[in-house]
Structure 1
Amino acid sequence: MKRRTTALTSRVGAMAIVVIAIGLLPWLSGRDPALSVLRARSAEQDPTPEAIGAVRAELGLDAGPLHLLGRWFGGALRGDLGRSWSSGAEVLPSVLSGAGASLTLMAAALIIAVAIAAALCVPTLVRGARGTLRTGGTGVGASTLAALPEFLLATLLMLAFSVWLRWLPPYGWEGPRDLILPALALALPAGGILGRLVDDALPAVFAERWVSLWRSAGCTPARIAAAAVRRAVPAVVPQLGLVAVGLTGGAVAVETVFAVPGIGRTALGAAESQDLPLLQGAVLTLVLLGVVAGLVAQAARRRLLGPGLRDEILSLPVPVASSGRMHQVAPAGCAALLVIVIGWGLFLDPLQLDTTARLAAPSWAHPLGTDSLGRDVLARVGHGAAATAGVAVLVCAASYVVAIAAGFLPGFTIGASETANAVPPVIAGILVVAVLGPGTTGASIAVALVSWPPLAAHAAALVQETRAAGYLTAQRAIGSSPGWILTRHVLPAVAGPVARHAVLRLPGIALALASLGFLGLGSQPPAPEWGSSLAEALPYVERAPWAALAPAVMLLLLAALAVSLSTLRAKTPLLRGIRG
């Protein structure tokens, strides 16, 4: 009972901190809100003390941050989110309009994702129902889809279907055809995640005794397959909520690429223009969408389990990946290609301009061509590794330290862990950038804030398991001090496995940093970061697709490396069951 109370208090406190941070954005940004309003209204007007004072009095900023927070929160409860600093229009209609477009996009993406997941699980269902199942059927294909970031998929889909094939429009939000590519960009990773989760759970279900009893009783394979899905789905439904939350973050990048007037694009534009009332309303809506998705997923799981199992934790064992030689060759091959391209590019100058060779095609002088300013793409790809992968190492190290500390205090950190786990890196990036401004530091902090929960969950599980070990009971019996047991037994048993887990998450952290760079929230030009380089090349994608393909291929290799490492992780006994 005490543990449940502590966990509930932690959850409520974490949500309160998020709401307070959103309400205090005008003060946390470190910029004078009155000056931002004055510049938004009239860029030519001199920011005299009298003019700034008049704006401050109009907005009620003289009353202090607590009064401003109370007024904003009270207005939000009444449905009044204030007025935009840039346009003077009411925020609520803009937020509702953007939310409608985003919900339409996410609903279409979720339907497609469920269809993709079902298609991925068909081979396992067929073999399991017939009694011929040996391993799962999704394999590397589903993992590859799950590892691809939405902004990269959106770029590749635009290149393939809009630029080269000219089948679908690249931009806009006018009809059903404009929905296809954005929905696919969101649905492919989500479908891969769901398909892999269900496919991993099905072999354990088919190994249960009731399946053989049903088969011997003459039940049809179709009926057995339906019952197996019914048995496996409740364990996956909570992940469906996280997938829906992930759609809110992925929608920001996808809406930006395809110019969809959704709530994510609205939040990003408000962050860039320092329109804090609009940013507050958009981010609050995104957070509420995530919370509602999680609550719906929990309610659906309880409904599926029924009254007899509502308080039970349905845990299905995860099958161990096969130990074929390809599972060792794939990560080595991806790493080798990355090292070759990066090493070659490091010998070239990423900032040298050649205006006579703007958007030049690949040649001996420029193996990967040049960008819109005549800079060598290979050089920028090589030097961009430091800005993308190098910073990811520092973020990974910081997440590891936080996770180890949180692992010893799971009751107090569960609320912060669940909240951080439910906030996509893009949303965290928008909030941090609103406070610190765009740059590498802000992007690193944003990714670190949402990267530690999986590591903390792993650390907490290892701490609990180690403390329950019999040899530690003997140590306590002979009078060993708690400090001795902690430093000599518990901490060494936790630090090593969690460190290996952190290394395996390194490619995913690098992809998250690249997504923030792509959206203009991370490294700023002329820094040769992979995400920002891809964003710079998009306006010229029809004339020079190679400028966009080079960083895109590097990110694809990074995603493939993440998939390969996750396969190796599944084979490691200490890391089984923490693949989420």
Structure 2
Amino acid sequence: MKLGIKRGVGPAGLTRLACLLAVLTAVGLLPWLSGKDPALSVLRARSAEQEPTEEALDAVRRDLGLDAGPLSLLGNWASDLLRGDFGTSWVSGTDVLPSVTAGLQVSLGLMGAALVVAALVGVALVAPVLVRGRGTAGTYAAMLAAVPEFLLATVALLVCGVWLGWLPTSGWAGPEYMVLPALALGVPAGGLLGRLVADALPAVLDERWVELWRGAGVSRSLIAGAALKRVLPPLVPQFGMAAVGLTGGTVAVETVFAVPGIGRTALGAAKSQDLPLLQASVLALLVLGLVTGALAALLRRRLLGPALRDAGLALPPTRPVRTPAAVPLTLFTVLAVTIGWGLLRDPYAVNTTARLSAPSWAHPLGTDGLGRDVLARLGHGAASTVGTAAAVCLLSLLVGLALGFLPGVAAGASDIANALPPVIVGILVAATAGPGADGAALAVALISWPPLAAHAAALVQEVRASAFLTAQRAIGASPSWILTRHVLPSVAAPVARHALLRLPGIALALASLGFLGLGAQPPAPEWGLLLDESRAYVERAPWAALAPAVALALLAGLAVSTAAYAQGRRAPRGAKKKEAPVGV
């Protein structure tokens, strides 16, 4: 999430436009960037009996315009787009626009219901803080916000749909079909909104004006309303990013519950290489994200008003919730023991006679559909996932540090990166290079650097304004000396800690791509892929799905508790003001 890089009128605007054009160019050139010849796939989709001769394939290429160069391909796509022509599906041969419009209507309905759920969850988390002025709502909100949508959707389907039979588990035939998807999509968003407000409210309620109002006999409800009005404007951009995140979450939720929305349409088009449908779907998701961000910025300006618009009305420093060291240590120990135990076993050994076996001493977490040991696959999958996440984290750190010295450029690029959830980038990368672990890592790395860049930019600004650097310049220190001996060391250490605390979140993002089939491919024992494979037999062998689900939940809990513990330890020592609010 953005941490508040000040937008620049010049460099930021130009960078924002350049990045947007780059994304649109990548979408327009998907048929050329994929490096594959789709003529054979299109020919088989149109006529399975026709012999794929070179003449027939050439005719398909001419019909699709694939025999032209990249510039002609991009120009034709852009000109058709301006005329309202989104192309023709390579698979069905029908116009793309009706499919995209129908999918977008379903997704907007689902997102609207999810926003209602998010608002209700946020109100439930914030109400105790408004009543008592204190509370631990921020902790519970952080836990809810850290749960990935695909994991919550799988658990909701398993418990409420399969075991209890309360609600339908697939389709889109009535209001009851919307309940579970809306809950899976809205609860994490509500946790994030509730956390932001609950963390900021105690410091606002301690401001001098609140004490004066209480002394004057102003009612508690009026004070609560004024405190919320004081809190909301600086947090509206974060609310906008939460809404943007829903566009990425819809892909996973629609896939789990077989909802015919735009996210599931985009994922299906990527897997079938129906590139015109994929182009239109991704473009719709991108526009949806950009419009949401623009509406959030407009709402913030209206809430601030012209008098306070330039000041920004920054919030006072939040009070970190103290978390005992035993919480993250316990979670880490449980994960480490499980992973270590699994590493001692063979994750690829197939035993068809032991298919879907229940947990036993021979197989402590049971077996999957091929008789492979779930514990072994869980352990080996964690090793590869954490290693990939560490590499992505390091790359994001380097990019964030570099862009921290170019705040204008970073601000513009961050706006576009924040409008593209990992799932959307993963779909684009998979359409270009094919699904795989490397493509998933690239997709997460492309959009994981903005928080680190914002943190680095804030620290650079603070260090450059400090008195000791003025003294260094006065005694004749060179700019390179000041940069390498003072500025960079002061910035690198806090940002590196920030990046380390984001490691579990990056691992969860990689798992989400694996769950959607955009990451590691079978038979790799990746956690998201394990959860996806187990859905086929979740009614017969729920333990195969519960094992990776619990592991992912523990990883999310570790991310939250470690961040809370780190913030709690900084507070007594008078931590720097610009230390980043991690885990947002």
1:439-483 deviation line (CA, Å, top 9, x unaligned)? 000000000011111011111111111111111111112221111
1:341-384 deviation line (CA, Å, top 9, x unaligned)? 01111111111111111111111111111101111111111111
1:330 aligns with 2:327: yes
User: Who is 2:410 aligned against?
Assistant: 413
1:375-422 deviation line (CA, Å, top 9, x unaligned)? 111111111112221211111111111111111112223222221122
User: Who is 2:99 aligned against?
Assistant: 94
Question: Could you tell me which of 363, 378, 381 is aligned with 2:375?
Answer: 378
User: Who is 1:173 aligned against?
Assistant: 172
Shift of 1:577: 4.4
**Kept after mapping to 1: 8 A contact 2:410/2:450:** no
Question: Could you tell me which of 458, 468, 471 is aligned with 1:471?
Answer: 468
**Kept after mapping to 1: 8 A contact 2:138/2:321:** no
- Specify the SS of the correspondent of 1:264: helix
- Specify the SS of the correspondent of 2:519: coil
1:343 aligns with 2:340: yes
1:300-339 deviation line (CA, Å, top 9, x unaligned)? 111111221122212112323244xx53111100100001
Shift of 1:213: 2.0
Question: Could you tell me which of 509, 533, 537 is aligned with 1:536?
Answer: 533
1:187-238 deviation line (CA, Å, top 9, x unaligned)? 1110000001011121222122221222122211111111111111112211
User: Who is 1:130 aligned against?
Assistant: none
Q: Distance in 1 between matches of 2:469 and 2:45?
A: 64
**Kept after mapping to 1: 8 A contact 2:203/2:319:** no
Question: Could you tell me which of 11, 19, 30 is aligned with 2:16?
Answer: 11
**Kept after mapping to 1: 8 A contact 2:139/2:321:** no
Alignment length, in residue pairs? Answer: 572
For 2:337, give the aligned amino acid.
I
Q: Distance in 1 between matches of 2:160 and 2:396?
A: 38
User: Who is 1:159 aligned against?
Assistant: 158
**Kept after mapping to 2: 8 A contact 1:121/1:137:** no
User: Who is 2:258 aligned against?
Assistant: 259
Q: Distance in 2 between matches of 1:120 and 1:63?
A: 57
1:480-513 deviation line (CA, Å, top 9, x unaligned)? 1111111111111111111111100000000000
Q: How does 1:76-155 map to 2 (within 5 A)?
A: 76-127=81-132, 133=133, 135-155=134-154
1:289 aligns with 2:326: no
Q: Distance in 2 between matches of 1:312 and 1:286?
A: 33
1:429 aligns with 2:426: yes
Q: Distance in 2 between matches of 1:393 and 1:36?
A: 37
Question: Could you tell me which of 71, 79, 102 is aligned with 1:74?
Answer: 79
Q: How does 1:441-452 map to 2 (within 5 A)?
A: 441-452=438-449
Q: Distance in 1 between matches of 2:552 and 2:46?
A: 40
What residue ranges of structure 2 are gaps of 5+ in the alignment?
1-5
TM-score of the pair, normalised by structure 2: 0.95
For 1:69, give the aligned amino acid.
L
Q: What CA RMSD, in Å, does the superposition of the two structures yield over aligned residues?
A: 1.6
Deviates more, 1:353-362 or 1:229-238: 229-238
TM-score of the pair, normalised by structure 1: 0.96
Q: How does 1:550-565 map to 2 (within 5 A)?
A: 550-565=547-562
For 1:578, give the aligned amino acid.
P
**Kept after mapping to 2: 8 A contact 1:100/1:262:** yes
**Kept after mapping to 2: 8 A contact 1:458/1:578:** no
Shift of 1:8: 0.8
**Kept after mapping to 2: 8 A contact 1:318/1:576:** no
User: Who is 1:578 aligned against?
Assistant: 581
Q: What is the percentage of aligned positions where both structures have the same residue?
A: 64
**Kept after mapping to 2: 8 A contact 1:327/1:567:** no
Q: Distance in 1 between matches of 2:218 and 2:136?
A: 23
User: Who is 2:3 aligned against?
Assistant: none
User: Who is 1:311 aligned against?
Assistant: 310
Question: Could you tell me which of 553, 563, 567 is aligned with 2:564?
Answer: 567
User: Who is 2:209 aligned against?
Assistant: 210
Q: Distance in 2 between matches of 1:243 and 1:200?
A: 16
What residue ranges of structure 1 are gaps of 5+ in the alignment?
128-132
Q: Distance in 1 between matches of 2:135 and 2:142?
A: 12
